[in-house]
Structure 1
């Protein structure tokens, strides 16, 4: 015998499914809700995509954004499944390449991070905090 955690013993939907069923019965409210989920999911997804090259949880944020979108959109569920599989394949390929590729990738990541931090002016800001005003620390962009 299987137990459905989303229905009560009397057969009624409970929890999240009941909430979504009530929303689905009100088209305007349903549209507002789906729009809010779309906006939130796309914002989280965009932040994750921007964070991918940097140390930290870039891919986790991408998956979270797609997970948010997948709660309401079938296309996002398909993309999430496809991306998970591609991520697994990519990481398996990366691990199989050996230490030379890992070192080259680590160096490239450090270069991207340092260049971005420099362009955004972080070195100049931190330098000014400690009294170092070297010209080359300043961003090439004139903020």
Structure 2
């Protein structure tokens, strides 16, 4: 029974290694003395999950409010990734997608399009501000007397 479960675990690990980045092992990064004791390791995982959950919830709250919501959410995911394989895989997928998007943004055609759209937007905003100033004038919010 033990040999079969060991084989299943190693087969699952091989499948995960195919998805993972080479050179970086997946799994718990808990200290060795924590991993040796099953109850201590389980307590460690619960603690990591609770702390990561608190950080992710804080990030979700910051999305509509002022604050770096997405940055805090990814910070919570990084906390989870210290213990959980699924979070490590999510972070690796996210890093890969962000890298691909950055490469696409550096494409000369995409850059030209973005610059063109920005210039057109600035011309429209400048025209609208000019029309507003011509129609209503510039009204200072304070009184200046000389």
Bucket of the pairwise TM-score, normalised by the shorter protein: 0.3 to 0.5
Determine which structure has greater relative contact order: mean sequence separation of CA pairs < 8 Å that are 6+ residues apart, divided by chain length.
Answer: 2
Per the normalisation by structure 1, the TM-score is 0.47
Which has more radius of gyration?
A: 2
Per the normalisation by structure 2, the TM-score is 0.46
